[in-house]
């Protein structure tokens, strides 16, 4: 079976709603399934659980937090990633801290789903952010799946988690399809995935950039053995898995579609430099500092991390494998 990323999110919501009557969905146009993940849910589960909300993110996010405190497991869909800026206080200062400030007497099992984070053609500056670094910085559980099966498994785990979780579904990953020959299952938060084993360089790629990293790794295979490392969960980060990868390779490149200063890429490089084995200075590829994506498609693409930047970063380590005909077997 071929499973699309958006259909994987839809199946995760369907299965979670069917398995647990406490699960419900809030958001704008969720009844019509405008963004894709909530398609046909209203017909199956009714308006008591699939709740179309007014155009007020602060209002329905606060309502969802209250529902979580009283025993429900709400999923809030945000159609545009920058809408998270409007509810940052509620999510970080209230939902995230409530359990800590009550000594565990109250829990807020709230999931925020952003189906289409990052750049979309022509969506411009106020619709193209990728603010996952803000939530990881604040200590909120933060997930960025790259593949349909990971989207399904991580969303199921997020909904079942006792704490708030923000799930970013990158717009560039939504068209991805995957052949599925096994039963879909939850994937634990905080566990990374190695998509391609290698021995020369570790590439940490976030979200949709995993697919770019895999393509470049295949292209450069005659020159470099590249390990493609997908953190999947940015907080908590699987530092043990990254340390094990760097024990094998000793070299690190991070490609991250968010702004450079104080980003996930910077945190990965800093932690690796402090605690892990490196035989060469690490490198990062990000959006520029303070980047705001322009409306013009060519300028939009120029601001985003791309494959040529990754090729250059990898080749900057120098030739690490002899070419064919110079002592290297075909």
Question: Is residue 216 located within the same domain as residue 175?
Answer: no
Long-range contacts of 130-133 (CB under 8 A, 24+ apart): 130/81, 130/168, 130/170, 130/207, 130/257, 130/258, 131/81, 131/82, 131/84, 131/85, 131/258, 132/166, 132/168, 132/206, 132/234, 132/258, 132/264, 133/234, 133/258, 133/259, 133/262, 133/263, 133/264, 133/267
The per-residue DSSP string of 42-92 comes to: HHHH-TTTEEE--S-HHHHHHHHHHHHHTT-EEEEE-SSTTHHHHTHIIII
Helix (H, G, I), strand (E, B) or coil at 233: strand
Domain assignment present for residue 328? The answer is no
**CB 88, CB 132: distance < 8 Å:** no
d(CA 150, CA 195): 12
CA-based R_g, the chain, Å:
20
What's the length of the chain? 330
**Among all residues, which ones are annotated catalytic?**
127
Query: How many domains does the chain fold into?
Result: 2
Question: Is residue 13 located within the same domain as residue 148?
Answer: yes
- Read off the pTM: 0.94
Helix (H, G, I), strand (E, B) or coil at 237: coil
Number of CB atoms found within 10 A of residue 218's CB: 11
Question: Is residue 53 located within the same domain as residue 167?
Answer: yes
Residue environment code for 46-58, b if the CB has 16+ CB neighbours within 10 A, otherwise e: eeebbbbbeeebe
Question: Is residue 154 located within the same domain as residue 11?
Answer: yes
Per-residue pLDDT of the chain (330 residues; tens, 9 = 90+): 899 999 999 999 999 999 999 999 999 999 999 889 999 999 999 999 999 999 999 999 999 999 999 999 999 999 889 999 999 999 999 999 999 999 999 999 999 999 988 887 777 877 778 899 999 999 999 999 999 999 999 999 999 999 999 999 999 999 999 998 778 999 999 999 999 999 999 999 999 999 999 999 999 999 999 999 999 999 999 999 999 999 999 999 999 999 999 999 999 999 999 999 999 999 999 998 887 878 888 888 888 899 999 999 999 997 776 654 444 443
What pLDDT score does 328 carry? Answer: 44
Q: Which domain holds residue 269?
A: 193-315
For residue 41, CA distances in Å to 9, 15, 48, 283, 307 come to 12, 11, 11, 44, 38
**CB 61, CB 91: distance < 8 Å:** yes
Domain assignment present for residue 323? The answer is no
Domain CATH number, residue 67 = 3.40.50.970
**CB 167, CB 154: distance < 8 Å:** yes
What pLDDT score does 327 carry? Answer: 46
Domain CATH number, residue 206 = 3.40.50.920
Question: Is residue 89 located within the same domain as residue 126?
Answer: yes
- Please choose, from the candidates 105, 121, 109, the residue with its C-alpha nearest in 3D space to the C-alpha of residue 23: 109
For residue 164, CA distances in Å to 24, 61, 74, 249 come to 14, 12, 10, 35
């Amino acid at each position: 079976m071929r499973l699309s990323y958006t259909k994987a999110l839809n199946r995760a919501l369907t299965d979670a709603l069917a398995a647990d009557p406490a699960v419900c969905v809030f958001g704008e146009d969720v009844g019509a399934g405008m963004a894709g993940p909530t398609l046909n849910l209203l017909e199956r589960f009714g308006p008591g659980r699939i709740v179309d909300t007014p155009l007020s993110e602060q209002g329905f996010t606060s309502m969802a937090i209250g529902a979580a405190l009283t025993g429900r497991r709400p999923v809030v869909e945000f159609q545009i990633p920058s809408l998270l800026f409007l509810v940052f206080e509620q999510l970080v200062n209230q939902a995230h801290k409530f359990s800590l400030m009550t000594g565990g007497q109250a829990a807020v099992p709230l999931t925020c789903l952003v189906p289409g984070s990052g750049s979309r053609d022509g969506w411009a500056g106020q619709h193209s952010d990728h603010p996952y670094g803000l939530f990881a910085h604040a200590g909120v559980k933060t997930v960025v799946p790259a593949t349909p099966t990971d989207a399904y498994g991580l969303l199921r785990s997020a909904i079942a988690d006792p704490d708030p979780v923000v799930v970013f579904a990158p717009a560039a990953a939504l068209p991805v399809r995957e052949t599925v020959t096994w039963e879909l299952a939850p994937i634990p938060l905080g566990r990374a995935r190695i998509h391609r084993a290698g021995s020369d360089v570790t590439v940490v790629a976030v979200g949709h950039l995993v697919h770019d990293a895999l393509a470049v790794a295949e292209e450069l295979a005659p020159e470099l053995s590249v390990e493609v490392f997908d953190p999947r969960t940015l907080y908590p980060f699987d530092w043990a898995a990254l340390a094990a990868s760097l024990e094998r390779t000793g070299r690190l490149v991070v490609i991250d579609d968010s702004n450079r200063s104080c980003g996930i890429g910077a945190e990965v490089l800093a932690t690796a430099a402090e605690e892990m084995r490196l035989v060469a200075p690490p490198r990062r590829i990000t959006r520029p500092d303070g980047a705001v994506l322009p409306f013009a498609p060519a300028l939009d693409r120029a601001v985003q991390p791309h494959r040529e930047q990754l090729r250059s970063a990898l080749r900057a380590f120098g030739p690490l494998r002899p070419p064919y005909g110079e002592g290297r077997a075909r």
